[in-house]
Amino acid sequence: MINTLSILLSLACTGEVSDDPKPDVKELNEPAAPPSLEAPSDVAAAPADATKTESGLAYKVLTQGPGGEKPTQWDSVEVHYIGWTTDGENFDSSYKRNKPASFPLKGVIAGWTEGLQLMAVGDKVRFWIPEELAYKGSPGKPAGMLVFDVDLISVKAGNRPPETPEHVAAAPAEAKSLSKGLKVLQLTAGEGDMPTGDDMVEFHMTAWDTATQEFEFATSMRGKPMSGRLSDMMQVWAETLATMKPGETTMVWAAAEKIVDGRGNPAETGKTFQLELLKVTSAPKPPKSVAKAPSSAKTTESGLAFQVLTPGTGETHPTASDRVMVHYSGWTTDGKLFDSSVQRGDPATFGLGQVIPGWTEGLQLMVSGEKTLFWIPKELAYDGKPGRPEGMLVFEVELLEIKTAVERPTMAEGLKVLGEDEKAAAE
């Protein structure tokens, strides 16, 4: 179901001499022929002997397996399948590709997530999946109730969610209030400095619905913590992380109105979080002259101002066609840090023709090893582009390496070389 799955992001020798011919070993080892793609007679509706779940999913066991492992919603499975609409049209089949499909159960339509958990390895089951558990009328996807024959081949265990701790439903008496609608309780102590302002924080987060105590998400399950500047974090996390030290773990109870998305909409229900602060990286300090270029700075004809902070050791300047590797930090003129490769610990590499005009011009003034402060006017920066830093921008840039562009021959040069090669071959 790779086509359908891509829509979902929605397997003796007796020693006696015999006159009978020996069996064809190759023939015995050949896999069974794939099943017919012709729709079953009950494709239009689940028969009376089918079982129906509370959700409306109907199913019927076609072949009972040996009683193997059953998947959970956190696992991945390998299956062979055929899918039909209720008018008998075959819209997808892993058999057509001669390859089973593999996918996590949390990554497919609801009817598959529920249905596969009813199966054991070796089972073959037919499912009648109502539209509300399938594609819900999404344009370009199979419409209405769908029917699938599924062979469960194998199960691969996935990461399980952490156990639900005590007091998820309500903060205990010893929890302290940080602000209205926000309570916290330290579980383990940390050490070091608490993050502030534009410091970069790295943390693990687990979330539950406070009312139902249902697990919702855990960064530990994906094996990668969350990270970002404290000032850019959701208010609940920023407010809590600002009170924590690296190594500290804290439970958080937040009212729905405290959990606001990027559009300013509050969550429907309160959430309970467990935060573990892993690392704090201090933000680069803005230069004293961040608001305006000092009189000691040089200004080009375009209006770009710059001041060399540390002379370089190289002799060559990059050209507009070169690629460079740099470390940089950028601020708006009010001292707000909006980006920093230094803070991330990851230098940036790019072509000088791929960046804002102020960078294209400014980097060509530098040599390797040089560190320079640039004041880039609005028209040489993002020029009012929505979603980008506004106004004049200030960058501290260290040029680490120049990656000279590879010169490509012109067409005339290429034809000349080709002619010389043909001439040499003829001789």
Give the model confidence (pLDDT) of 337-375 as tens digits. Answer: 999 999 999 999 999 999 999 999 999 999 999 999 999
Residue 383: partners with Cβ closer than 8 Å, 6 or more residues away: none
For residue 101, pLDDT beyond 90:
yes
Q: How many CB atoms lie within 10 A of CB 340?
A: 22
Considering only the top CATH level, what class is 2-156? alpha beta
pLDDT at 219 over 90: yes
Q: Compute the C-alpha angle 179/181/184, nearest 5°.
A: 70
Whether 23 has a pLDDT exceeding 50, the answer reads no
Query: Tens of pLDDT along 189-207?
Result: 999 999 999 999 999 999 9
Give strand ranges (E) for 64-136.
76-85, 90-93, 101-104, 124-129
Map out the domains of the chain as residue ranges: 2-156, 176-281, 298-403
CA distance 418 to 427: 14
pLDDT digits 0-9 by tens, 116-134: 999 999 999 999 999 999 9
Question: Whole-angstrom Cα distance, residue 364 to residue 379?
Answer: 18
pLDDT band at 5 (very low <50, low <70, confident <90, very high): very low
Query: How crowded is residue 376: how many other Cβ atoms within 10 Å of its Cβ?
Result: 26
> pTM of this prediction?
0.62
CATH 3.10.50.40 fits 298-403, yes or no: yes
Contact 186, 250 (CB under 8 A): yes
pLDDT band of 405, cuts 50, 70, 90: low
Query: Using 50, 70 and 90 to split pLDDT, how confident is the model at 222?
Result: confident
- pLDDT for res 426: 47
pLDDT confidence tier of residue 266, bands split at 50, 70 and 90? confident
Is the per-residue pLDDT at 13 higher than 80?
no
Q: Is the pLDDT reported for residue 10 higher than 70?
A: no
Same fold, 2-156 and 298-403: yes
pLDDT of residue 295: 96
Thinking of the domain 176-281, which architecture would CATH place it in?
A: Roll (3.10)
Alpha carbons 126 and 107: distance in angstroms, whole number: 20
Nearest Cα to Cα of residue 166 among 157, 158, 175: 175
